[in-house]
Structure 1
Amino acid sequence: MSKHLSAPKLVISLFAPLCLLGACNSPDSKSAKTTDSAKVDTGKKTKYLSQPLISSIYTADPSAHVFNGKIYIYPSHDINAGIPENDNGDHFAMRDYHILSMDSIGGKVTDNGVALDIKDIPWAGRQLWAPDAAYKNGTYYLYFPVKDKKDVFHIGVATSASPTGPFKAEPEPIPGSYSIDPAVFTDTDGKTYMYFGGIWGGQLQRWISGKYDANGSKTDSKQENAPAISCKVALLKPDMKTFEGAVKDAVIVDSLGKPLLTKDHERRFFEGSWMHKYNGKYYLTYSTGDTHLLCYAVGDSPLGPFTYKGVFMKPVQGWTTHHSIIEIKGKWYIFYHDTQLSGKTHLRNVKVTTLEHNADGSIKLIDPFL
């Protein structure tokens, strides 16, 4: 991003790239060094902008939706799996999903229990990372990334008659799906799109050729002057379980219309995409991963291209962040996570705060600390 838009970087004490958000995406690079702690040195900023929605379990990567006037949150469920930390993120061994609900912002938050367990997904191997959900024609759909039995991430779908589940998983992943962080958006014309992907531990860089390359680049760093790897987008068929046509690149460009480059770590896509529509424009929001920023790019079509506009949320406590954005009763809100409760990268808690669009369509910058 241009220098005049650059958000101040926060120092993460005793920490180097490990947990990429998306469900705790982590780099494969063996050069990364980590510790259990990911506390941000906030200096005088000792107060948080908002408080955890629940503290009975650890939750992260919150995908929020409004169904029938009520707010439902579909997060990852962080656990202490007892697995030593490593650069593959094996200690992010989430096994199930709990769905949260609330009647209003600031109201009571209910944990509705286990909605889907990894043991009930026929094709799953390990690591249930950041999910999302959608509703159409009387059915609720839960979309989830999980590694198959060959340790390759794909995206699955499960269905339920209730927004809180229980959900029943399809016997196979969505054909043509890969990587992590599904985010589902239904446009005003009724068409539904899935945005997905995460580099490094999310394996997106291993699909550059269109086929999975287990021996491919472990990070994107070897192609610094090439266009950055794009977020992926696919139109869903009316059955909401399969893609309509080929997966496309949701390309992010600069003000001159040129694709952002891999070396542009403060602007390029990394993971954790989300789509919302405001005043007829499509806002692709996403995480920059190893630079800990939430950015946004705006387009005239849900397929892009999207022109980079800036940072809209500064770094949280923790290695990075993952968010969702909803409108309810004429106001906009962002759901996100940090590590306030634990101070550990793999044990996070979800939060919510207001999100404001300025008169010119830009998004007001959010600081997660007071």
Structure 2
Amino acid sequence: MKKRSCCLALSIMLAFMPASAETLISERFSADPSIHFFAGKYYLYATNDQDNSGTYWDSTDWRLFSSADLESWQDEGSFLDISVFAWAEKTAKAWAPGAIERNGKFYFFAPVGGKQIGVAVSDKPFTGFKDPLGKALIETPRDANAGAEPIDPMVFIDKDGQTYLYFGTRIPKVVKLKENMQQLDGDIQDIIIQGFPEDDKKKKYGEAPYLHEHNGTYYFTFSTGWPGQIVYATGNNPMGPFTYRGVVFDYLPISTNHQAIIEKDGKSYFFYHDGSASGGGDHKRTIRFTELQYAKDGSILPIIIK
């Protein structure tokens, strides 16, 4: 009875929640947003769906968009090609990227071919990226516990200056990075997520790991699969364990769901992709964003799009 009452209460709450307005970044097909505020400007790094085959996620470069105000967006073009990594196959898939700024340099973390993560560095956030290592930062099966698919890299710098790299499909992974952002600082570890609903077998980790901090709490969001919901868990340590809290963004009528969250000037924004544009679908997605809001107890209010 208690479980049924909780579900009923949740359904009633969702029914009366206001819908959120959304903003389209570009009509151009792109996906897997990685949003950042660098040097006084917003930069959004993305998978280039416009140039894939339309039957698979097989583009070989990454797209970049920028904005000074989150209202007007500029298409900066396909700013980086897979060829920047000489060790990668020329036809390797260029999937969901991550980026970070540290010590005046910009680091781009790129999943390459589903088996490797490379890192490129530049003095500017929009051009000039080079591969400083000449090899993959993470590679399966070379690196212990890298997992079958080390994809969807996301980088987080904590208040104490420690950097964490999140990645992985089916099993979430985390590893500390050294200050140079080009070396692992310890072993790759599995992230523990506690408290999934016992009666919902679909509530499992799939992909798209993302960490952000809000009012002293670490929020770990991710997709539950293919298709998947964006759900979240919270904890008091960037490496976990995290406790499952609920759904942020519901299933989409396409096979993937991938999010990014940014907090700026007292507001939080949720970036995602969908297939609703004309000609869109599983492999032709567009990026949008909406405001993310919290309840007084720190829980994330589910996002319902108008």
TM-score, normalised by the number of residues in structure 2: 0.86
Shift of 1:81: 3.9
Residue of structure 1 equivalent to 2:118: 156
The structure-2 alpha-carbon separation of the partners of 1:80 and 1:140, relative to structure 1 and needing over 3 Å to count, comes to closer
Does residue 1:63 correspond to 2:4, yes or no? Answer: no
Question: What CA distance in whole angstroms lies between the structure 2 residues aligned with 1:117 and 1:285?
Answer: 28
Residue of structure 2 equivalent to 1:94: 59
SS of corresponding position for 1:304: coil
The structure-2 alpha-carbon separation of the partners of 1:60 and 1:360, relative to structure 1 and needing over 3 Å to count, comes to same
Question: What CA distance in whole angstroms lies between the structure 2 residues aligned with 1:307 and 1:270?
Answer: 16
Question: What CA distance in whole angstroms lies between the structure 1 residues aligned with 2:120 and 2:300?
Answer: 33
The structure-2 alpha-carbon separation of the partners of 1:248 and 1:82, relative to structure 1 and needing over 3 Å to count, comes to closer
Question: What CA distance in whole angstroms lies between the structure 1 residues aligned with 2:122 and 2:73?
Answer: 21
What is the count of residue pairs matched by the alignment? 283
Question: What CA distance in whole angstroms lies between the structure 1 residues aligned with 2:282 and 2:77?
Answer: 23
Shift of 1:171: 1.6
SS of corresponding position for 1:79: helix
Does residue 1:316 correspond to 2:252, yes or no? Answer: yes
Does residue 1:166 correspond to 2:128, yes or no? Answer: yes
Question: What CA distance in whole angstroms lies between the structure 2 residues aligned with 1:82 and 1:70?
Answer: 32
The structure-2 alpha-carbon separation of the partners of 1:343 and 1:114, relative to structure 1 and needing over 3 Å to count, comes to closer
Match of 1:144 among 83, 101, 110: 110
Residue of structure 1 equivalent to 2:25: 53
Single out whichever of 116-125 and 170-179 deviates more from structure 2: 170-179
Shift of 1:92: 1.4
- Which structure has more relative contact order (CA 8 Å, sep 6+)? It is 1
Question: What CA distance in whole angstroms lies between the structure 2 residues aligned with 1:321 and 1:111?
Answer: 22
Q: Aligned AA for 1:139?
A: K
Shift of 1:80: 4.8
Residue of structure 2 equivalent to 1:35: none
For the 8 Å contact 2:249–2:303, the answer to whether it is kept is: yes
Shift of 1:233: 0.3
TM-score, normalised by the number of residues in structure 1: 0.71
Shift of 1:104: 1.5
Unaligned runs of 5+ in 2: 12-18
Question: What CA distance in whole angstroms lies between the structure 2 residues aligned with 1:136 and 1:160?
Answer: 11
Q: Aligned AA for 1:113?
A: G
Unaligned runs of 5+ in 1: 9-46, 86-90, 200-229
**Deviation beyond 6 Å, 4+ runs, structure 1:** none
What is the percentage of aligned positions where both structures have the same residue? 36
SS of corresponding position for 1:124: coil
Q: Aligned AA for 1:276?
A: H
For the 8 Å contact 2:60–2:82, the answer to whether it is kept is: yes
For the 8 Å contact 1:294–1:312, the answer to whether it is kept is: yes
Residue of structure 1 equivalent to 2:15: none
**Deviations for 1:206-258, whole angstroms, at most 9, x for unmatched residues?**
xxxxxxxxxxxxxxxxxxxxxxxx3100001111012101001111001xxxx
Shift of 1:155: 0.5
What pairs up with 1:1-370 in 2 under 5 angstroms? 4=6, 49-55=21-27, 57-82=28-53, 85=55, 91-105=56-70, 107-125=71-89, 126-147=92-113, 153-169=115-131, 170-175=133-138, 176=143, 179-199=150-170, 230-254=171-195, 264-341=200-277, 342-368=279-305, 370=306
